[in-house]
Chain A
Amino acid sequence: MVDVTMNRQGRRVLFKHGSVLKTVVLALLIALIVLPLLRTVLFTLQPDTIKAWSDVLTGRLSTNLFYKPLGNTLLIGVVVATGCVFLGGFLAWLVVMTNVPFRKTIGVMATLPFMIPSFAAALAWGALFRNDRVGGQVGWLQGMGLDIPDWLAWGITPTLIVLTLHYFSLAFTIIAAALATVNSDLVEAAQIAGAKGGRILMGIILPVTTPALVAAGSLCFAGAVSNFATPALLGLPVRMQTLSTRLFGMIEVGQVGRGYVIGILLVLISGAFLWAGNRIVSGRRSYATITGKGGRAKRLDLRGARWPLCALAMVALVSSTVLPVVILSASSFAPSSANLFSNWTLHYWVGLSSQSIAQGIPGIVHNEDIVRALSVTLALGLAVALAGMLVGLLTSYTTARFRKGWMSAVITQVSFLPLLVPGIAFGAAYIAYLGAPIGPFPALYGTFALLVIAGTAYLLPFSVQTGRAVIQQVGGELEESARLTGASFARRLSAITVPLAIRGLTAGGILIFVKIIRDLSLVVLLFTPTMPVLSVLAYRYASEGFGQFANAITVVILFISIAASLIANWLQAKSQPWLKN
C-alpha cells in the first residue's frame, strides 16, 4: 500500500496555496449554509421569541415538546444507521467481493430504494400492514384475515423498518464504491499467505473501508433523524413524535420560534454525532487505495452459502424496491385503494376532466399544473446537480488535499451542516435569508434561482461526501508528480483529479438530481404557485385524498429517476466498477 507522503517543502508550498483555496471555499459555504442558519438563530433571540428556549428546554411543555421526541429521534438515528451499515455493507460485500448468484441484479437493485421517496414507502407500508386502529380501510394483510398488532402497523417499529429499507442503499453505494477500490495487492497477499475469507474481511477489508463505513453510518443517521414523512405518516396515529415532526407541527401552527429552537437543537445534537464520526475518519493518516497498480482480486467463493445468501439479499431488495413500486403503480390505476387490483382505469393518467371523478381533476397528462411542474422539476434537478457537483468538487478537493488546519475542519463540518437541518427548517431559513431584498439584490422569493441555490446548499453534503470518498482514494502521488513537473493547479485538477474522480462525481451528480426531484421537505415551503415542482403536487394530492394522482406523479418521478441513472450509466460505463467481472 502506498501512502500519501509528501516532503516537508512540498507540503509547505501546498499549504500556502491551500490557504487561498480554503478561504474561497469557506466563504462560499458560509454564504450558502451558515448565514441562513444564523438568521434562524438570531430570530429565536429576539425579545418576543426568546421565551421559546425555556418553553422547549425547561418549562412544563418540555417533556412533550422536546425530550420525548428527542428520545425517539435518537433511537431512530442509531438503529437505522446501524441497520443500514449492516444491510448495505452486507450487500456491497456480496456484490463486490463474492461470487453470489445474480450479482449484477443485486448491485442494481440495491441502488434503487433511494430513488423512491420515503413517503411513498411509508404509504406502501400502510397499504400492506395498516390495521383497524384508525378505522376505515385496512391494509392488504389485515384484509386477508391476519390480525396485525398496533406495534407492527404504527409507530417506531415500522418507522425503523421503512427508514432502514430506504437509506440502506445510500450505505450500499458508499461502501460498494470503497470496496471496489480496495487494493487487490493486499487481498492477494493475504490469500497467498493462506488467510481465510473471514480473516481477510476482518484484517484488511474492514480497516481499509472504515472511513466509508463511518461516512455511510453518519449519512444514514443524519438522514433518518431529519426524515419527516415516514414518522409523520406512521407515527402520528400512535402519537409518536420525532424532533422533525414536532418542528413541522410548530411551524405549521405558526409557533415559529419554538419550531426554530427545536430545529437548532436538532442541528446541535446531530452535529455532535457527526463530529465524532468525522474524528474517526480524519484521525487516520491515509487511505489512498487507487495507486495505478494491481489487478482485481479473486472473488471469494461462497460455496454452499451462495444461494441462501442470495435469497437473503433478495428478500431485503424486493421488499424495498419491487413491492412499493407495484403498490404505487397499482393504486394509480385503482379507483379504490381497498381493492388495489380491480376496476383499473386509466383516468388518473390520461382521462379528461369529469365532474363525477375526483372533483373534476383531469388525468395528469392533461393537467397543465403537472406539465409545468414537470419542466420546472427537470430544470431544477439539472441545475442543482451541476451546481452541486461544482461546489462539491471544489470543497472535497480542498479538504482532501489540504486536510491539515482548522479551516479544513471547519469546511468539513460546515459542508455537513445541511444534513442535520430538516429540509423544512432549511427552507424556512432560506425564505428568511433570501426572501427579502439584500442591499441592491432583489428578493428571490418565488424565483427559480432561490430553488436552485437552496437545493444546492441543502444537498451539498452528498456531493461533498461522494466527492471526498473518491478524491481521497486518488493517490496523492499522481498529483504530486504532476506538480513536480510544473503543472498548474487548474491543469492538475483537470488532467488528473477530475478524470480520476469523474466516476464518483457523476454518481454524486445523479444522487443530487434524484434527491432534489423527489425532495419534499425542502421545497414545500420554497414552492410558490408560479414555480411548482412535482413532489409538492404529489404531496398535495395525497393529503387531499387524491391518492391516485399522487401515486401517478410518484411513478413519473420514479421513472425520471431511473431513466437518469440509466443515462448516467450509459454515459459513464465505469460508474459501477463493482459490477465488472
Chain B
Amino acid sequence: MNVLEATRLGVIGMFLSSAALADGHLNEMGPEELLPLAQAEGKVTVYSFTSRIGKVEAAFEEAYPDIDLQGFDISSTEQIARLQAESQAGVTNADVVYISDTPVVLTELLETGIIAPFVPPRIADRVPSEYQSPLLAQRLSTKVLMYNEEANPDGAPVTNLWQLTTGDWRGRVVMVDPLQRGDYLDLMTEIVLRSDAMAAAYEDQFGKAIELGDAANAGEKFIMDLFANDVILVGSTDDVNVAVGAKGQESPPVGFTSYSDRRDNEEEGWALQVANSVKPAPGIIFPAVLALAAEPNNPAAARLVIDFLMGDESETGGAGLAPFYVAGDYVTRTDIPPHPDAVSLNDFTAWRIAPHETAKIRSEIGDLILTLQ
C-alpha cells in the first residue's frame, strides 16, 4: 500500500464514518463493518476503573494491530470528576468509559449527557435486558466480607455480620474509608436499605430484638456499632487485601473487599476467601458498566472496543473477556458459562444494589459516617 492509497483509504474512511454518524448507523454495525472505519480512526482512548485494562490493551492491539488502544486506569470516583471537568471544558479525551459507582454515574454522567449508552448488536440477544439499560453492564463486581483461609481452614470465622460489632472483632475489621471510595459508601448504604434483614440477623445473633437507641434503623445501628468497635479504615482495596489475606498471620482480621481479588492469591501470597455464608449477606454485588463518550473522537473504534470487551464467540469469550473471566466476577453474557472456581451467582448471597435507590440516601449515609469518625 503506497502513501497515496493509504491517504485515499483514510479519506474514504473518514467520509464513511461521518456519513454513518449522520445516519446513526454506527450503533447497528457489527465488528466487521466497524473495523475499516475504526482502522481509519487509528486509535481509541479508554478510561477504566480497573488496572486490568492493561491486559485488554495488549489483547485488543493483537486482535486489531492497526488501532492503538490507549487505556487509562482511573478510579470510578476520579473518572466522574474528570469527565465532568472535561465536559465543562468542552474537551473529550475518552472515547470509552468503563466504570462502576453506578448510583453516581447514572445521575451525574448519563442524565447530564456526558456519556451515552451503547449495546453492540452482536451480543444484544445474549445479555439480559436488565443489564442493557440504562447502561450496558459487562460484568458484576463485588464488595464483600473476605477472610484468611490459611488461618481459618474450616471456613469463615464470622457467620453473622453483627459479630463484627462484638469484642472478638474489636479493631479487627478492615475496610476502605467509605468517604473516600464510592463503592464502600454504596455498601454502607445497602446495609441501611436492608435494615429489615439486619434486624432479623441481630435477633438471630443475640437472641433478642434490636434496640435502636440513637439510630434510625437497624442498618444505621450496625454502622454505628461497627465504628464504635474500632473498625480499621485504609486507603485502598489492596490495603484491605494485604491486611486480611497475607499468609503467615496468627489471627488475621476480616475485611470488605472485591471477591475477584482472590485471583491474585497465588501471585501476591494471599489467602483471601469470601465469607459467603455470613448472615444476612456478605456485602454487595454491583454492575461494572461500559459507555461511550457523548461525542467520541473515534466513534467507530470506541464501539469496536465495547464489542471487544463483551467477549468473542469462543466458549469463554476469548481474549477480550479473559481478564474478567475470573472467579468472583460475574460476566453478564448468558452464553458464557460461570467460572468453575467461584460460588455461582445463584448461590452467591450478596445483595444486588439498585442504583436509583442507593442514590436517594447515599449522601445521607455519608453524613452519618462522617459523624462517626
Contact = CB atoms under 8 A, between A and B. Distances in A.
Nearest to A55: B367
A403 interface: no
Contact of B93 (A132, A361, A446, A543): A446
A336 interface: yes
B171 A133 contact: yes
B88 A436 contact: yes
B22 interface: no
Contacts of A444: 89
B118 to A, nearest CB: 21
A61 B236 contact: no
Interface stretch (A277-285, A503-511, A523-531): A523-531
Interface stretch (B12-20, B173-181, B338-346): B173-181
A152 interface: no
Contacts of A63: 371
B243 A134 contact: yes
A502 B245 CA distance: 55
Contact of B371 (A64, A250, A361): A64
Contacts of B373: 64, 239, 241
Interface in A224-260: 232-233, 236-237, 239, 241, 248-255
A149 interface: no
Contact of B246 (A136, A232, A241): A136
Interface string A162-199: 00000000000000000000000000000000000000
Given A443-B91, A446-B86, A544-B236, A60 B371 contact: yes
A65 B236 CA distance: 21
Nearest to A337: B242
B363 A135 contact: no
A104 interface: no
Contact of B73 (A135, A525, A530, A540): A540
A437 B90 contact: yes
Interface in B45-63: 45, 47, 51-52, 54-55, 58
B108 A254 contact: yes
A134 B253 contact: yes
Given A543-B238, A544-B236, A253 B185 contact: yes
A545 B51 CA distance: 10
Contacts of A136: 239, 242-246, 249, 252
B177 A435 contact: no
A538 to B, nearest CB: 13
A253 B182 contact: yes
Nearest to B94: A529
Interface stretch (A325-333, A352-360, A471-479): A352-360
Interface in A510-552: 525, 528-530, 540, 543-546
Interface in B232-287: 232-236, 238-239, 241-246, 249, 252-253, 267-269
Interface in B78-131: 78, 80-82, 85-86, 88-91, 93-94, 104, 108
Nearest to A60: B371
Contacts of B370: 61, 64-65
B243 A253 contact: no
B70 A529 contact: yes
A360 B58 contact: yes
B81 A237 contact: no
B370 to A, nearest CB: 5
Contacts of A525: 81, 85
Interface in A530-580: 530, 540, 543-546
A445 B91 contact: yes
Given A528-B93, A545-B241, A233 B235 contact: yes
A137 interface: yes
Interface residues of A, number: 51
A252 B58 contact: no
A431 interface: yes
B243 A61 contact: no
B182 A544 contact: no
Interface string B25-61: 0000000000000000000010100011011001000
Contact of B90 (A134, A137, A443): A443
Contacts of A233: 235
A360 B55 contact: yes
Contact of B235 (A236, A250, A546): A236
Given A241-B373, A252-B180, A528-B93, A543 B85 contact: no
B111 to A, nearest CB: 14
Nearest to A232: B235
Interface string B62-83: 0000000010111001101110
A276 to B, nearest CB: 31
Interface string B220-241: 0000000000001111101101
A98 B187 CA distance: 61
B207 to A, nearest CB: 30
Contacts of B74: 529
A223 to B, nearest CB: 21
Given A61-B371, A134-B174, A237-B233, A253 B89 contact: no
B249 to A, nearest CB: 6
B358 to A, nearest CB: 13
A63 B93 CA distance: 40
A32 B236 CA distance: 35
Interface string A117-161: 000000000000000111111000000000000000000000000
17 contacts: A61-B371, A136-B242, A136-B245, A136-B252, A137-B242, A239-B233, A239-B373, A252-B179, A253-B179, A254-B104, A336-B269, A359-B55, A431-B89, A445-B85, A528-B82, A529-B72, A545-B238
Given A135-B246, A253-B179, 20 more contacts: A64-B373, A135-B172, A135-B244, A135-B252, A249-B177, A250-B179, A252-B77, A253-B182, A254-B104, A254-B182, A359-B55, A436-B90, A437-B89, A443-B90, A443-B91, A445-B85, A544-B73, A545-B236, A545-B241, A546-B51
